[in-house]
Each structure stands twice: as C-alpha cells, then as structure tokens.
Amino acid sequence: MRYWRYLKRDAVRNWDLYLMAVPMVVYYIIFCYGPMYGLQIAFMDYNPWRGMAGSKFVGFKHFINFLSLPSSFQYIGNTLRISISSLIFSYPLPIILALMFNAMPSQRIRKTVQTVFYMPHFVSTVVVVGMLALFTNNQVGAINQIIRALGGEAIDFNKASSFLPTYLISGIWQGAGWSTIIYTGALTSVNPELYEAATVDGASKFQRVWHIDIPSILPTMSITLILAIGGLMSVGHEKVYLMQSATNISVTEIVSTYSYKAGLISGQYSYSSAIGMFNSVVNFILLLFANTLSRRVSGSGIL
C-alpha cells in the first residue's frame, strides 16, 4: 500500500512525464504483451478455422518434434555460430569508434565523420544484400575484378565458407556507426574538469581515455553486453534468408529461418510458435546468466 501511495503522489507531481510515457506503454501492451495470448497455440494443433477454443491441446508435442529432428541441433549451432561471431567482432567496434569520435579535437570533423558512419544504418537489408550480390559476383563483381587486377584468383563468394565473413563484414559496415550513439551519449556526461585535471597532471591522450572515458562508459558497456548475450538465439532471419542459396544452405539455415519457413510458408503455425517460444526461453536463460555474471564481476546489471 505504501508503494501505491508513493506512486499516486509521484504521478500527481509529475503528471506531464507520465503523460508522455502513455504512448510507449500503450505500444508495449498492444504489440508486446497482447500477442502473448497467442503463444498458447504452441501447445495446440492449431486450426485457423476452429480457432483456439476448437483446436486440440497437445502439450509439448511440437517442442519434442523440433528437438527430435536430426537437423535441429545443426540449426541451433548455425545460429550460435553467427551470433557469437557477431558478438566477438561487432561488439567492441562501436566502443572503439565512440572513443575515437570523442577524442577528435574538431567539432566539425567529428560531426562529419559520425554522419558518414551513421548513414549505412538507413540502407535497408534488402538493398544491402543486393549490393553484396552485385559486388561479390564471381564474374563481374567489383571485388573479384580488383583481385584479378592485382594478380590474384577470384573468390567464390557462393561457397558456404564465404558466408560468415561476408555476413560479418557487411553487418559491421551497416551497424557499427549507429551503435556508437549510446556510447557517445554516455561520454557526453563526463565532467570536463576530469580531463583538465588529467592534462595538468601530465596524462597523455591514451591515459585520459583509459582512466576517464572507459570507466565512465563501463556500466553502459555491461548493459549492452548483457542484452547482446540475451539475444544470442535471436539472429534476424531477414538478412540470412536473403543470403541463402543452394550452396550455402548448410550454414545459413538457422532457427529463425527454419521457423519462418515452417510457419508462413508451410502453414505449420503451432510448430513455428513452439520453435519461437523455445528460442525465447533460451534467450531468457542466457539473459539471466549474463546478468548474474555481470553483477558478480562488475557490480552492475539490468535486473
């Protein structure tokens, strides 16, 4: 009761802030919490004509069917290989870029460079994959033409072994600049007097970055790392699906693409929902593990 009295008093005092939060709360209720009602079809043999009330309850049948597939662990392995590789190579780069942007003495040059790095984020995934297909074409692709001009042999980018490097490099190009925003925002809150005091004490630019900038964004780094680990099983299917071909299907068939094909293409709605719920449960477990580990190591977390 004390909590609700405090909340009521705070709502009256800061009614304008609560009013601004209403659209976001409504959005989450409609698009995040509302659809949870439909998760029950993962435990049914759902028939759209009969609806949920008329569909037969089958318990964990669809979960067992998925995990019993000989290829299910291959899909899970492909998912983890892509997501862990992305985490290793894509996570540190925005932090490094943000530190570099913050160290630039000229405000005009900093804004120009930031804009150049932000721009790829606004290129749609379909366009990015189309650009990759154009640049990596075995015959007329710009990359292979440059390799031939330098006396090398053309690379077959359609091979399964070429998928992951292509996926990672294009993902870094598209998202690294945009991901620096949160770290750049954290760096703006650093007290300028700390830099002045460090300069007076004779600290070099690297020492100022190491002893001032990095500690100031460490809580932000912990939170983003926890969220990244909590989403290891949530590799977006759009880009992977668009990059799939007959020659690389062995490494590009992941849980989300398999679920997409089972649900929207084959019409196995209950089976697809069960796969999606399995993904979410694994992500939730990973999130709790990462948060617990972060609290023990750094003393900060999201829960």
Domain-located, residue 214: yes
Q: Are residues 162 and 191 in the same domain?
A: yes
Q: Are residues 240 and 178 in the same domain?
A: yes
Q: In the chain, how many domains are there?
A: 2
Long-range CB contact pairs, 250-255, < 8 A, 24+: 250/74, 250/160, 251/78, 251/81, 251/160, 251/163, 251/164, 252/78, 252/160, 252/163, 253/71, 253/74, 253/75, 253/78, 254/75, 254/78, 254/79, 254/82, 255/75, 255/76, 255/79, 255/279
Dist CA 234 CA 218 (whole Å): 25
- For residue 225, give the amino acid letter: L
Q: Are residues 96 and 227 in the same domain?
A: yes
Domain-located, residue 179: yes
Q: Are residues 9 and 91 in the same domain?
A: no
- Structure confidence at residue 195 (pLDDT): 84
Q: Are residues 48 and 169 in the same domain?
A: no
**Structure tokens belonging to residue 282:** 């694994």
Q: Are 256 and 79 in contact (CB under 8 A)?
A: yes
- Structure confidence at residue 303 (pLDDT): 65
Q: Are residues 52 and 91 in the same domain?
A: no
- Structure confidence at residue 219 (pLDDT): 86
Domain-located, residue 96: yes
Q: Are 68 and 62 in contact (CB under 8 A)?
A: no
- Structure confidence at residue 199 (pLDDT): 85
Single pTM value for the model: 0.85
The low-confidence residues of the chain, meaning pLDDT below 70, are: 1, 3, 300, 303
Q: Are residues 28 and 79 in the same domain?
A: no
Give residue 209's domain range. Answer: 72-124+156-297
Domain-located, residue 129: no
Q: Are residues 6 and 118 in the same domain?
A: no
Q: Are residues 31 and 81 in the same domain?
A: no
Q: Are residues 55 and 164 in the same domain?
A: no
- Structure confidence at residue 275 (pLDDT): 93
CATH number of the domain at 84, please: 1.10.3720.10
